Amino acid sequence: MKKYIRLYYYLFYYSLLSRLEYRMDFIANIIRSLSSILVGFIGFTVIFQNTRYLGGWSKEEALVLFGIFVLINEFWYIFFFLNLIRLPIYIQKGELDGLLLKPVSIQFIVSFRYALVFALPNIFIAIFMIWYFSQVIGQISLMKYVITGLFILNGVVLLYSMTLMLVTISFWTVRLKAFWEFYRAITEGARYPVDIFKGGLKLFFTFVIPIAVIFTFPAQFLVRDLPISTILITFLIGGIFLFLSHKFFYFGLKHYNSASS
């Protein structure tokens, strides 16, 4: 474990230095990243000028959910996005051969090789949003924030697992543009409460593509409450997806046609 922690420290440090080499580009990316949060916040402001509730959620509750959406999404974006989208390129160009020769877990190096460090300010903005709007709703205990943090961690794991399974398909078909567009469309809708969906669609976004488990449940636990059974199911789904994504990745790896073969 220490080996991988030390290795990730150097990988992250290298990513930071390489980004700072082009400082104006680094600053421009920070501004662009921050503006996406501002646009989302304005969107919610406009929505709640015309209605008091969105799927039964008040403005403050919805903004806590938006803060959690930003926090989970930015963690995924910083640590995993740039890495996982490169897997089809590694396969297409045969670069995976070199990674397979490294004395570390191939899943680790594929998942953590780079970091998009310019999105780090969004993490602090999201945490502030969650704290501020949850305090507007009512006094919340420290323990509830801690458990919500575990929910958020579970959400990051789920989002990573879903993405890993998606890019693993590239072992059979390199072109994944259509899959990525579908994935982006699904996650963009995740900033809104899953309660806006009804019937089978709500079940679909809870158990098949679990955006409710990733984003809505942490916010619902923090500003309202969740039954113990739902809490257990939430973490169970996270564990199942992580296990399945690991197995599916190595199953796909067995079908990799090396550039040297």
In this structure, is residue 260 part of a structural domain? no
In this prediction, residue 182 carries a pLDDT of 66
Structurally, how many domains does the chain consist of?
1
Residue 261 lies in a domain: no
pLDDT of residue 111: 93
The whole domain housing 112 covers: 2-253
d(CA 128, CA 132): 6
In a domain, 258, yes or no: no
**Stated pTM of the model:** 0.89
What are phi and psi for residue 54, nearest 5 degrees?
A: -125, 105
Residue 27 in domain: yes
**Is residue 258 helix, strand or coil?**
coil
Identify the pLDDT of residue 210: 85
Evaluate whether residue 132 is within a structural domain.
yes
Is 48 among the domain residues? yes
Contact 109, 102 (CB under 8 A): yes
pLDDT at res. 212: 84
Question: Is residue 56, in this structure, part of any structural domain at all?
Answer: yes
259: in domain: no
> Which amino acid is residue 153, in one-letter code?
L
- Positions in the chain short of pLDDT 70: 26, 174-183, 185-186, 258-261
Q: Which residues contact 107 (CB under 8 A, 6 or more apart)?
A: 164, 246, 249, 250
| Residue at 89: amino acid letter | I
Sort 40 into a burial class: Cβ within 10 Å, 0-12 / 13-18 / 19+: middle
- What pLDDT, in 10s, does the model give residues 167-179? 898 888 766 666 6
